[in-house]
Amino acid sequence: MTDTKFRPDWTETAPPAGTYRSIFKYGNPNHFKHPSDAWYEMIKRDFHLRDEDFVTRSAEGLKRVALNRPSSLKPNQIEALRSIVGAENVSCDDYSRLKFASGKTTEEMMELREGIVREVADVVVHPRDKHDVRQIVEYCDRELIPVTVFSGGSSVNFGCRPSRGGVALAVSTHMNKLLEINEQNQTARVQPGMFGPAYEDALHRAPQLWQTKHRYTCGHFPQSFEYSTVGGWVVTLGSGQASTYYGDACDIVFSQEYVTPAGAFKTLDYPATATGPKVNDIMKGAEGAFGILVEVTMKIFRYMPENRKYFSFMYPSWEAAVAASREIMQAEFGRPAVFRISDPEETDRGLKLYGIPDLADKYLTLRGFQPLSRCLCLGSAEGDKDYTRLVAKKIKAVAQHHGAISLSGYAARKWERSRYTEPYMREDLGDYGIVIDTLEAAVTWDNLHRLHEGVRAYIKSRPDTMCMTHASHFYPQGANLYFIFIARMNNPEEFQKFQRGIIDSIARHGGSLSHHHGVGRMIAPWMEGHLGKEQMAVLRALKNHFDPHNIMNPGGLLELKQ
């Protein structure tokens, strides 16, 4: 155990202002989450590395951003934008043009480490309100200037990359307020650029801030919660970690207000309608290609953390975990909020990551829960006190019937505390040439094992590559599969080829192209094969209707017009 005395010198300082690293670093500049000692040992072992390989950080991206690329907008166009939003809300500096053009894909990170820059915005505009947005869209439509929305910037598929330059519309700068809570209707009207924590906090404090009788929760907690915005959740069809109870973002939307080149409108505020195809649904998932979401009314839920019940189980096998999950989702006794099952590799590595005591490991193995077969399940139930008690009790009964052993709520609570911090490991690993990335899909129950085996086999066919898979969003008809892969790789081309292979494998094995990451530009090339040309034609017809001059997030997003 002498190895453990050495610890890599993980970065512990915020990236200097103005650097590439300050753009690609995840989350809070002063927050870090380093791989644990156990993880470090595992990585070394699996990737045949030695401590010496973790001495020098490479390609840290610490240079200052410099583009040497003039804006292709004319001075009078910049001036016109300034006259709409005020000069202080228009930025043309190199740093802004890159920052508000960047998301969080691995390719971007790899490239920015080397100072390689692809598309950037010609100008960044920070609208103050929806009236500004309306004027900007009208002006840009007339002048044929592309407009690409930047909100949280956590896109993992080049969704906010301004492929043809033009305006990066930074909606989270000013348009980030909670406008109204309607307690009777249990809805909240929100500006699109409001970040998750500010939104959730305002709902918790509704009695003080809005004189409501109860406290509320948004019910939507994606891993990117802290650095994603309400508008982003809606337009990309996001899904939160408690979606099994609260629904996906699309389910939590009540109504939306849009500005498009074809006009501005607000969808109707009704709990249900039978008045033709619902425009409120049609807009969900357009990822900015039809127009700009300027306000959204979300359903909200009673916040009752005191009633939350946590549970964790160990199943003897993946098959047992999946079978039990299906039974739970179809049993009609209510639903858990968080619900996750990890496949054997994720369970094994997860136990190392979270540091399972040796004794517990031995006990589990003795009881027949073998390493690389056993599967961890964790979750929680939310809602009314008696309801959560019932749901937790029922889940336990089904789990035990499928051979699981209860681990109490400990693992679930532990997971919850670090639920948003995983992305922080990316920079640490990247500093030593190790990539961690994810791809994901939805699938029906009858195809879940085939998809899992097929995609996993592809990922594992690459030597020395970790593949951890979990399902974390459940429905009576199926679930998602979330593939995390870790590999030693520092060449963007090599990465891209591997990533494409995984997407191919997902498509080939019958997964959806995305369960909740969205399409952006990354998945776009697979869209027509996936949906078929007739359904792609529907999306194109809508694009032509809303945006005849192709200025809204153009460049092939969603496999629409270039």
Could you say which of 11, 186, 317, 496 contacts a copy of itself (CB under 8 A)?
A: 186
Could you say which of 62, 78, 92, 390 contacts a copy of itself (CB under 8 A)?
A: 390
Phi and psi based region of residue 119 (left: phi greater than 0; alpha: psi -120 to 50; beta: remaining): beta
Nearer to a copy of itself, 34 or 530 (CB): 530
Question: DSSP characters for 313-356?
Answer: EEES-HHHHHHHHHHHHHSSS---SSEEEE-HHHHHHHHHHHT-
Nearer to a copy of itself, 299 or 340 (CB): 299
Instruction: Please tell me whether residue 477 binds a copy of itself under the rule CB under 8 A.
Output: yes
Looking only at residues 280 through 309 of this chain, which bind a copy of itself when binding is defined by CB under 8 A?
281-287, 290, 299, 301-302, 304
Tokens of 203: 């709902």
Kindly indicate which of the ranges 54-62, 94-102, 367-375, 471-479 contains the residues binding a copy of itself, using the contact rule CB under 8 A: 471-479
Could you say which of 184, 211, 357, 493 contacts a copy of itself (CB under 8 A)?
A: 184
Looking only at residues 525 through 554 of this chain, which bind a copy of itself when binding is defined by CB under 8 A?
527, 530-535, 537-539, 541-542, 544-546
Q: What are the angstrom distances between the C-alpha of 496 and each of 148, 155, 522? A: 24, 17, 10
Quick check: 151 and 103 in contact, CB under 8 A?
Answer: no
Question: DSSP characters for 464-523?
Answer: TEEEEEEE--EETTEEEEEEEEEEE---HHHHHHHHHHHHHHHHHTT--S-SSS--TTTT
Could you say which of 14, 198, 262, 405 contacts a copy of itself (CB under 8 A)?
A: 262
Q: Based on the number of CB atoms within 10 Å of its own CB, is 312 exposed (0-12), middle (13-18) or buried (19 or more)?
A: buried
H or E stretch covering 215: none
Q: What are the angstrom distances between the C-alpha of 270 and each of 62, 255, 293, 296? A: 51, 8, 19, 14
At position 122, the amino acid (one-letter code) is D
DSSP bridge pairs for 468: 484
Instruction: Output the smallest distance, CB 488 to a copy of itself, in A.
Output: 30
Quick check: 266 and 295 in contact, CB under 8 A?
Answer: yes
Instruction: Please tell me whether residue 396 binds a copy of itself under the rule CB under 8 A.
Output: no
Instruction: Output the smallest distance, CB 314 to a copy of itself, in A.
Output: 24
Nearer to a copy of itself, 418 or 535 (CB): 535
**Per-residue binder mask for a copy of itself (CB under 8 A), 420-459, x = binder:** ----------------------xxxxx-------------
d(CA 145, CA 524): 22
Nearer to a copy of itself, 51 or 327 (CB): 327
CA atoms within 13 A on the CB side of 484: 18
Looking only at residues 163 through 182 of this chain, which bind a copy of itself when binding is defined by CB under 8 A?
182
Tokens of 182: 């309607």
Instruction: Output the smallest distance, CB 7 to a copy of itself, in A.
Output: 38
Looking only at residues 7 through 66 of this chain, which bind a copy of itself when binding is defined by CB under 8 A?
none
Looking only at residues 201 through 260 of this chain, which bind a copy of itself when binding is defined by CB under 8 A?
236-239, 248, 250, 254, 260
H or E stretch covering 293: strand 292-299
Closest CA to 188 of 289, 303, 337, 305: 303
Could you say which of 92, 198, 331, 405 contacts a copy of itself (CB under 8 A)?
A: 331
Instruction: Output the smallest distance, CB 470 to a copy of itself, in A.
Output: 16
Instruction: Output the smallest distance, CB 315 to a copy of itself, in A.
Output: 18
Instruction: Output the smallest distance, CB 250 to a copy of itself, in A.
Output: 8
Instruction: Please tell me whether residue 405 binds a copy of itself under the rule CB under 8 A.
Output: no
Looking only at residues 500 through 519 of this chain, which bind a copy of itself when binding is defined by CB under 8 A?
512-519
d(CA 469, CA 451): 11
Kindly indicate which of the ranges 33-41, 83-91, 117-125, 382-390 contains the residues binding a copy of itself, using the contact rule CB under 8 A: 382-390
Kindly indicate which of the ranges 21-29, 338-346, 416-424, 477-485 contains the residues binding a copy of itself, using the contact rule CB under 8 A: 477-485
